[in-house]
Amino acid sequence: MTLETTTIQDLVIINPAVFNDERGYFFEAYNKEKFTALGISIDFVQDNQSFSKKGTLRGLHYQNPPYAQTKLVRVLQGEIIDVAVDLRKDSATFGQSFSIKLTAENKKQLLVPQGFAHGFSVISETAVVLYKCDQYYNKASEGGIRFDDVQLNIDWGMDLKEAIVSEKDLVLQDFKDIDSEF
């Protein structure tokens, strides 16, 4: 298992050691001791899984303190463009986004720390996404940013006019209008 840094501090990619043979493959997606050895000490308390069809766009979501969540995101089936936006006011990368293609084939995982908004778009016919969280979901602390925010200008890998977006996500605020608590 290796850790790959990104252009945004604390936002990292986890590359598992994959063992392939004639039967298929095996890898440890999470091992507390190995994560600790990589400098990641997180107590995950909840796993979330979603199934989505091509063109689905989920996000950008976050939870405010004290219920802010760190997420470890991976794809079990299909392909997504996974996006994180830095909401930490004191960060040199405040307001910047990072995106990565996560696939069942590449087995990469994105560790999205507390203080980030997160979302993804489905670019394969279907996708199953699993993410571990270090805090329980708390509806009263949820927040979000519009996926098509002009200031963020995120490339979701699809035509946004054709995106399948929930009613809840269509009414989220623009980045300039959020009052980040991070």
Residues 81-112: pLDDT tens digits?
A: 999 999 999 999 999 999 999 999 999 999 99
What's the domain count of the chain?
1
pTM of the model: 0.96
70 by Cβ neighbours in 10 Å (0-12 / 13-18 / 19+) ranks as buried
Query: What pLDDT is recorded for position 72?
Result: 98
**Is 23 domain-assigned?**
no
* 3-state helix/strand/coil string of 80-96: EEEEEEECCCCCCCCCC
Place of tokens 């107590």: 43
Calpha distance 112→143 (Å, rounded):
16
Residues 17-49: pLDDT tens digits?
A: 999 999 999 999 999 999 999 999 999 999 999
**Is 164 domain-assigned?**
yes
Residues spanned by the domain of 78:
43-177
Active site residues: 61, 131
Amino acid identity, residue 111? Answer: L
Residues 6+ away with beta carbon under 8 Å from 175: 85, 95, 145, 146, 149, 151, 152
**Is 11 domain-assigned?**
no
For residue 101, give the H/E element and its range: strand 97-103
**Is 10 domain-assigned?**
no
CATH of the domain at 165: 2.60.120.10
**Is 82 domain-assigned?**
yes
